[in-house]
Amino acid sequence: RILTGTYENLWLDGNGVPGAAKSLLGPLTIQDSLWIDASLSANGADMTIGGNWTLQPGIGNQFDPTTATVTFNGNPQQQRISGTPGTFQNLTISNPNGGVLLEADSLTVLGQLNLDGSVLTITNQELILGTVASISATTAFSTSEMIELSASGGLTKLVDASYNQTIPIGNA
């Protein structure tokens, strides 16, 4: 179990046990980077990350977002989401100094993707938005609040028959 609080960096290790289970006991703030080499359940607790997020490839290593919101709010020019494919319930990108770079194989957002004055850059990876996922911006979608795709980056929106939404994509 991971105690509620603020950490400079946090490394969650399964101590040699593939997919060892870890869970949050409450909201968590990580001022720099989070490195996950285990199975982590948010247990509905929100997380704020000031640096990079790495979900290490490995048997059983995963992040179970439950109903939590993960917010990237650091000051680095570019924060990174890397490692194995990950799923977030709600994801907020709040880094006006350069946004967040997706380096994971793919990233799925099931609920709300909030671009709070920031850009989510997708290079060779794929962003998957679930059927009920939506995208919002603090002000209006623009070159400072959008999803930036490279020539080989992808965006997939799973839809049902009632789908009607604006998706802010482009390149800056």
At 72-116, the pLDDT tens digits run 998 776 788 888 768 999 999 998 887 888 887 788 999 999 999
Lay out the sheet containing 90-93: strands in order across. Answer: 5-7, 28-30, 47-49, 69-72, 90-93, 112-115, 134-137
Beta strands in 27-85 (DSSP E): 28-30, 34-37, 39-41, 47-49, 53-55, 62-64, 69-72, 79-83
Record the pTM: 0.88
* pLDDT, tens digit (0-9, with 9 covering 90-100), for 15-51: 767 678 899 999 999 999 999 988 999 999 999 999 9
Indicate the pLDDT class of residue 123, thresholds 50, 70 and 90: confident
pLDDT of residue 172: 63
Tally of CA atoms within 13 A in the half-sphere of 144 that contains its CB = 9
Q: Residue 74 half-sphere exposure, CB side, CA atoms within 13 Å?
A: 26
- Which residue did the predictor score with more confidence, 140 or 53? 53
